[in-house]
Amino acid sequence: MKLYTSNEIRTKYIQFFQEKEHAVISSSSVIPDNDPTVLFTTAGMHPLIPYLLGEKHPSGTRLTNIQKCIRTGDIDEVGDDTHCTFFEMMGNWSLGDYFKHESISWSWEFVTSSKWLDIPKRKIAVTVFEGDDDAPRDEESYEIWRELGQSEEEIFFLPKVDNWWGPAGQTGPCGPDTEIFIISEKERCGPSCSPACGCGRYVEFWNNVFLQYYKTAAGKFEPLIQKNVDTGMGLERVLVALNGGTVYDSDLFSSIFSSIATLSGTTYEDQQKAYRVIADHTRTAVFILGDAYGVTPSNVDQGYVLRRLIRRALRFAMQLGIQEGGLTHIAKAVIEQYEQTYPELQSNRDKIIRELQVEEARFQKTLAQGLREFEKFSDSLVNGQLDGGVAFKLYDTYGFPIELTMELARERSIVIDMEGYREKFQKHRELSQAGAAQKFKGGLADHSTQTANLHTATHLLHAALRKVLGDEVAQKGSNITAERLRFDFSFHRKMTEEEIAVTEKLVNEAIAEGVEITFDEMTLDEARNAGAIGLFESKYGQKVKVYTMGVYSKEICGGPHAANTADLGSFKIIKEESSSSSVRRIKAILDCIRLNGQNILEHDIE
């Protein structure tokens, strides 16, 4: 049996859609730009939301790429056969160009043709939308699959929960999807066995979303004028579908596991979970640190997730006996595995290694402090039992992992009230989730006048900061809601009150000038030569949009923007603070936003 490598799949996918006249666009940052709904880029379509909503993409109406993605909702599950925090999403898009027939036919061709993946047709199953009160049964997709030769026994009609995407927020584009599965060697779990039952017989690896409706504020689903196709196929899922086993059995992890084995003197077979956690978490940490926006470990937002990943990897590395500094060697194996596909990892190699070393030193101090606190608490036990609330305090206040608390307790024949710990932990999780839901309220499709104006203000702020602080300043991320903007930028110290005042003044001068905001499409080289600032992260040389605001700002961006700087009202910085090491954060508001000729005061600022 032929075993596919990750590079083979990447190359085949891009080549196939290039032959179908798709422009190849580069992977965007794993840190979303101006999106308050998520901490990381979670899907290939994520950076393309403005274009799925109707903005013109500079590379045309047919696009394809491989997007680096991060999903961290199941960190504690990593170590089993299926969970990873980093993955690559191969995608292709039609922005008002082709629709269901071409999309499904090309998917079928790529999956089954001997030139491409060559998966036997008998091993393929598909699902389509069964219809409901909002939208009819997707007979069109069903008929296309039948015409292509898909077995009718392996075409399943499923409800909205299984075969519908969107909208991202309360309103916006949405529509039915059709999903493609490989049929595993597992027997049917019963007469009603289907891809919806979760028994493991069917492994989904490709999803074709047909954005043909718009959900209104009144809850109606109206047909879209521009119908789009958004597809996604996980690289790791495809490797499993083709080669069998788990993603950890693929070439993506072989060299990383070899590094762990050399450092620990153990084997993957004997320490499977630890190897998987260390490899997955180090891989994700490397991609976050090596990203163009490159956040560093901290106690907030992406930096907090990064810290958690690094420390969980370190904890499992310690269990294997890997000495201090070992994680950097594993990180080097990750960089070597991916640097040809993502050259930014090699460019940022020194920073990646340095930040890992710094965070490991911090963690060692945390462990020492936690150990001292454990000794204090263990001297005042009740009936030889450590209170669950105390165990949670060690975790929450001192960053001491519960697994280490359990290990120390076993050594001293101490019983931990785990039920009490879990109760405290669950309450903590519920509060965190509630806070996150409030913090990230809104949606990917929030392109209101308020957010467009605030987004425009980030351009003026970026340019003003570079004038006041120098060219050291570079954007490291932004987050915009309808009420305020948050802008992260590289700088080595706290801004003075005078620097903040001058920055604010420069932005307001640009607003008062009432400059028309224009954009041009050009190549990245042309953008560089024109003096534009922004992320120059392309590997393929595709065209970009460059937005110009008179003499005040020239920046690469995808939108949305105001038409004139005068629409912004008055700009005010409300806070300047540290975000992470050598990264500062500014929060700002527009005191009034012009809507339909009226100035509307902004309230309830975060």
CA pseudo-torsion sign 312, 318, 323, 324? positive
Return d(Cα 417, Cα 135) in angstroms, integer: 51
Which tokens sit at 285?
Answer: 């940490």
The full length of the chain comes to 606
Point out the residues of the chain with pLDDT beneath 70. Answer: 1, 34-37, 168-169, 380, 429, 431-447, 535-542, 592-606
Q: How is domain 449-601 classified at the architecture level of CATH?
A: 2-Layer Sandwich (3.30)
If we measure between CA atoms, which residue out of 256, 300, 344 comes closest to residue 30?
344
Tell me: is residue 492 an annotated ligand-binding position: no
**According to the annotation, is 428 in a ligand binding site?**
no
What lies within 8 Å, CB to CB, of 489 at 6+ separation is 462, 465, 473, 474, 475, 476, 583, 584, 585, 586
Q: d(Cα 321, Cα 311) in Å, to the nearest integer?
A: 15
How far apart are alpha carbons 236 and 306 in whole angstroms? 22
At 35, list the tokens.
Answer: 């999106």
> What's the CA gap between 160 and 162, in Å, rounded?
5
Q: Which two tokens stand for residue 423?
A: 């109760």
CA distance 15 to 504: 48
Query: What would be the CATH architecture of the domain defined by 6-248?
Result: 2-Layer Sandwich (3.30)
Strands 543-549 and 517-523: antiparallel
Q: How far is CA 572 from CA 511, 589, 591, in A?
A: 12, 5, 7
Using the structure block, give the residue that is written with the tokens 């999956």.
111
Distance CA 298, CA 288 (A): 13
Residues 381, 310: contact at Cβ < 8 Å?
no
Radius of gyration (C-alpha) of the chain in whole angstroms? 26
594: left (phi over 0), alpha (psi -120 to 50) or beta: beta
Asked whether the beta carbons of 307 and 297 are under 8 A apart, the reply is yes
**pLDDT value at residue 603:** 35
Closest to 83 (Cα-Cα) out of 302, 274, 258, 280: 280
Strands 543-549 and 583-590: unpaired
3-class secondary structure, 571:
strand
Please name which of 419, 413, 399, 250 lies closest in space to residue 337, comparing C-alpha atoms.
Answer: 250
d(CA 321, CA 256): 17
Q: How far, CA to CA in Å, does 582 sit from each of 355, 497, 585?
A: 11, 18, 10
**H or E segment to which residue 521 belongs:** strand 517-523
Give the pLDDT of residue 536: 56
CB-based burial label for 604 (10 Å; 0-12, 13-18, 19+)? exposed
Identity (one letter) of the amino acid at 387?
A: D
CA-to-CA separations, 471 to 295, 476, 489, 509, 533, in angstroms, rounded = 19, 14, 11, 21, 10
84 is in an annotated binding site: no
Among 42, 19, 45, 447, smallest CA distance to 210 is for 45
pLDDT in the model for residue 600? 41
Whole-angstrom distance, CA of residue 57 vs CA of residue 63: 9
Segment holding 67, helix H or strand E: strand 62-70
CA distance 585 to 591: 19
571-580 and 553-556: which strand pairing?
unpaired
User: DSSP secondary structure string, 418-440?
Assistant: HHHHHHHHHHHHHHHHHHHHHHT
- Tell me whether residue 561 is annotated as binding: yes
Which letter does DSSP use for residue 382 in this model? B
Give the amino acid at 149: G
Closest to 460 in 3D by CA, of 554, 592, 566:
554
Pairwise CA distance, residues 197 & 186, whole Å = 13
Q: What is the pLDDT of residues 232-252, one digit of tens each?
A: 999 999 999 889 899 999 999
